[in-house]
Amino acid sequence: MTVSSTSPAEAASVDEILDANAVGLLYFERFLPLAERVPGSEVPRYDEVCARYDEQRGLNLEALASDADAVGAMAAALGEQLDEQTQLLIVLRLRWHGDAGETAQRYVATEQERAGVLLDSVEDALQTMYAAVDVLREAVTDKAELVGSLDTD
């Protein structure tokens, strides 16, 4: 299981990232009216551009990372329980024989298989959650930095 690593610069909230680069929206405020004058051009309104810029505002990546940490703790506990059940199945096979013992062993083995599939799914979800934090932060940062880099003079 790989845990996401973020530097302090990457720990800025989505709102902070957007706010830090919002000055670039002035480009659209100044130049969209000029673009509208071009015959046959279809340009978005300034408020539409601002709304698109702010689409991710309020997205709480820290909460998603915290939820991922909780899912990680659950996956670790599930893994420990599965390991313990594996050891207990070995003991069961050594001590309980006959039809009833075989039935119990098959039942426990089947439950372990199901638990293993569940653990794999939980770990996949965990990795997806951590990746989502990084991908969403990167997407917002890229968009904000592009807008922030526009020449507003």
The tens-digit pLDDT sequence of the chain (153 residues) is 333 334 334 578 999 999 999 999 999 999 999 999 999 999 999 999 999 999 999 999 999 999 999 999 999 999 999 999 999 999 999 999 999 999 999 999 999 999 999 999 999 999 999 999 999 999 999 999 999 999 877
Beta-carbon contacts of 38 under 8 Å, excluding residues fewer than 6 positions away, are none
Question: Contacts from 108-111 at CB under 8 Å and sequence distance 24+?
Answer: 111/85
Q: How many CA atoms lie within 13 A of 122 on its CB side?
A: 18
